[in-house]
């Protein structure tokens, strides 16, 4: 069985999403950029030189796509940014941000680093260093 991740076409200048091809699995094949421009109206209306493409792995950022209201590509870094609405304040303005799954992993790493630093400080205190 073949598994294909999302393919996201975006405006190279603004980062606005032009077309997102969702994940595919089964008896499928990867299409070329040229085939996509012939197949999808949103792409056919554009000049290929003005359009960028991000290809994701199958399953990559799935939770973020499910939770987000919208997404966008940062033109300078080619990083995906997501728009999440606060369910407790749906009228509050939202801003595009890095995927929540990435933020969670960064916070876990920072938490681990902090715990290691605290353990080291505790050891040093027990040894009487710095007193």
CB 5 within 8 A of CB 56: yes
The bridge status of strand 80-83 relative to strand 96-97 is antiparallel
Segment 5-24 shows an average pLDDT of 97
Residue, of 88 and 71, whose pLDDT is higher: 71
Q: Where are the domains of the chain?
A: 2-98, 99-131
Q: b or e along 22-38 (b: 16 or more beta carbons within 10 Å of the residue's beta carbon)?
A: ebbeeeeeebeeeebbe
In the three-class reduction of DSSP (H, G, I as helix; E, B as strand; rest coil), residue 2 is classed as strand
The whole-number pLDDT of residue 40 equals: 96
The bridge status of strand 7-11 relative to strand 51-55 is antiparallel
The whole-number pLDDT of residue 131 equals: 52
The whole-number pLDDT of residue 125 equals: 83
Q: Is the pTM of this model over 0.75?
A: no
């Amino acid at each position: 069985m073949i598994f294909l991740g999302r393919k996201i076409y975006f405006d190279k200048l603004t980062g606005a999403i032009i077309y997102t091809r969702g994940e595919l699995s089964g008896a499928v094949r990867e299409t070329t950029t040229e085939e996509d421009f012939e197949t999808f109206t949103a792409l056919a209306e554009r000049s290929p030189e003005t359009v960028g493409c991000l290809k994701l792995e199958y399953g990559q950022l799935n939770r973020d796509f499910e939770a987000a209201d919208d997404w966008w590509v940062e033109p300078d870094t080619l990083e995906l940014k997501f728009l999440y609405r606060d369910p407790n304040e749906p009228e509050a303005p939202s801003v595009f941000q890095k995927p929540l799954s990435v933020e969670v992993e960064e916070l876990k790493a920072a938490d681990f680093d902090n715990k290691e630093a605290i353990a080291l400080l505790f050891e040093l205190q027990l040894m009487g260093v710095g007193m």
